[in-house]
Amino acid sequence: MDRKKIIGLLKREEGTKLDFKQKLELNLESGKKELAKDICAIANSRGGRGYIVVGVEDKTKAIIGIDKKDYFTEEQIQQIVSSRCDPPIPVSVEYIEVENKNIALITIYDSLQRPYQLKEQGSFLIRRGSTTDTMRKQEIIASFQENLSLNAETCPILNSSTNFLNFELVDRYFKSKGIEVNEDNRVFLMESASIIYADKEYNNYKCTLGGLLVFCDMNSVYLPHNMIRICNKVNKLQSKEIIIQGNIIDMAIKCTKVLNKILPLNYPVGALSEGVKNSVLYRDYTDFESVIEITIDYNSITVSSPGELIPHSKDDKKVNYPKRNAWIYEKILTLDGNDVFTGAGKGFRKMKESFKNSQKVIFINSKVENRFKVIFPGVNYLKR
């Protein structure tokens, strides 16, 4: 934001889309919770983008500035928000010099993902004037009705560039749907499919979370949490730690190749591949702090992915919970020319049936860790 706009913000009073803070106490859990509440409330309030200006006394609006020891990064704020708010709220951070002092501007972007909810309490917050309050029932209903597309995959990723997209994959997706793609209609088609998002204020396009995961080969630039980390404890000829990144289809293929190199020839690697495919398809991509982890040991092999398994029933009653990553699932199946994900959804049975001699595959759904784990027999299984 340019200096003129900042000066304009400083002249305004606090309101539903503007908050002034002298400092943030991010070294305290209470300070992180308070910031998440404020961002959630501003994001749920109508009126476009919102702002939190840090380094300004909220009543007098005197410029206090921020000491260098109290500086915070955009990544810190994003982690605080993504771990406490659902769906993730797009924010950015920038520092501006005013009256020879540095102040911070946290921008809270407008999005079609409202209403946002605090994960810990499950509450929906809103701003009433300059104060934070709980949304009333009718306000929550109205917000849901206004924003019926509640896919985290269609959230824009700030600072992303459409130049990073693999346009061969993009074109192949639309051609698989029977849609002709050319230079004149590609941007329109990508926006219509929520692969990219139009930022009307800056008159440019951003990639969406799903767009990067499916159609970008180097998405780790923006999504470092899109990773498979393999910990190898059994094969000294291979690296102890192997990192796999890329678009979702390539990650599944690369991972299977690595597993084949590490494990003995007669180990049922296909079962592990099913676990990996389920992980990349259904993991919680809004958890920006966690990655898929595969630990290969003699007694067990564990595939652990962020996000607990979404149940199909509750208290013996069928519940129609929305499937996680449905947007991604459709794109992957359309692009899967090599049948890597054929039969996805039946992976649990395939994993179980791959092992004999009473060796079991164990499934652990941890709500405490917010992770789903599949524990396979280790390489010692072959000696029995």
Domain containing residue 274: CATH number: 3.30.565.60
Q: What is the CATH number of the domain that holds 103?
A: 3.30.950.30
Q: Where are the beta strands (DSSP E) in 202-335?
A: 204-207, 228-232, 241-244, 292-296, 300-306, 313-314, 317-318
- Whether residue 345 lies inside any domain: the answer is yes
Residues 379, 243, single domain; the answer is yes
- Whether residue 153 lies inside any domain: the answer is no
Residues 270, 361, single domain; the answer is yes
DSSP class of 24: -
Residues 24, 56, single domain; the answer is yes
Residues 85, 110, single domain; the answer is yes
| pLDDT classification of 235: cutoffs 50, 70, 90 | very high
Nearest-10 Cα torsion for 42, 44, 45, 50: 40
272 vs 159: CA distance, rounded Å: 36
Residues 215, 322, single domain; the answer is no
- Whether residue 155 lies inside any domain: the answer is no
| pLDDT classification of 319: cutoffs 50, 70, 90 | very low
Closest residue by Cα to residue 328 from 226, 200, 199: 226
Find the helix or strand (DSSP H, E) in which 337 lies.
Answer: none
Is 102 exposed, middle or buried, given 0-12, 13-18 or 19+ CB atoms closer than 10 A?
middle
Mean pLDDT, rounded, of the chain: 90
The domain of 264 spans 228-383
Cα-trace Rg, the chain: 23
- pLDDT per residue over 156-201, tens digit each? 998 899 999 999 999 999 999 999 999 999 999 999 999 999 988 7
- Whether residue 157 lies inside any domain: the answer is no
- Dmax over CA atoms of the chain, in Å, equals 76
Residues 367, 255, single domain; the answer is yes
The residue-averaged pLDDT of 268-286 equals: 94
Q: Are 311 and 318 contacting, i.e. CB atoms less than 8 angstroms apart?
A: no
Residue 224: predicted pLDDT: 95
Residues 6+ apart with CB under 8 A from 220: 226, 227, 245, 246
- pLDDT per residue over 11-30, tens digit each? 999 999 999 999 999 999 99
User: Is 332 strand, coil or helix?
Assistant: helix
Residues 144, 86, single domain; the answer is yes
Residues 55, 7, single domain; the answer is yes
Q: Are 239 and 232 contacting, i.e. CB atoms less than 8 angstroms apart?
A: yes
Q: Is the pLDDT of residue 318 over 50?
A: no
Residues 6+ apart with CB under 8 A from 157: 90, 206, 207, 208, 209, 212, 222, 223
The number of folded domains in the chain is 3
283 vs 228: CA distance, rounded Å: 11
Q: Are 56 and 20 contacting, i.e. CB atoms less than 8 angstroms apart?
A: yes
- pLDDT per residue over 83-131, tens digit each? 999 888 999 999 999 999 999 999 999 887 889 999 988 999 999 998 9
Which residue among 96, 122, 148 closes a domain? 148
Residue type, 293: E
Direct distance between the N- and C-terminal alpha carbons of the chain, in angstroms, rounded to an integer:
65
116 vs 118: CA distance, rounded Å: 7
| pLDDT classification of 311: cutoffs 50, 70, 90 | low
More confidently predicted of 16 and 150:
16
Q: Is the pLDDT of residue 322 over 60?
A: no
Per DSSP, what are the bridge partners of residue 318? 313
Which residue among 121, 148, 175 closes a domain? 148
- pLDDT per residue over 203-228, tens digit each? 899 999 999 999 999 999 999 999 99
Residues 168, 255, single domain; the answer is no
Residue 149: predicted pLDDT: 56
pTM equals: 0.70
Residue 182: predicted pLDDT: 95
Q: Are 371 and 306 contacting, i.e. CB atoms less than 8 angstroms apart?
A: yes
Q: Taking the CB of residue 107, how many other CB atoms lie within 10 A of it?
A: 16
250 vs 372: CA distance, rounded Å: 22
* Least confidently predicted of 117-121, 198-202, 259-263, 334-338: 198-202
Residues 298, 360, single domain; the answer is yes
| Max avg pLDDT among 144-148, 186-190, 354-358 | 186-190
Residues 371, 255, single domain; the answer is yes
Residues 207, 339, single domain; the answer is no
- pLDDT per residue over 298-308, tens digit each? 999 999 999 98
Residue 316: predicted pLDDT: 45
CA 157 and chain centroid, separation? 9
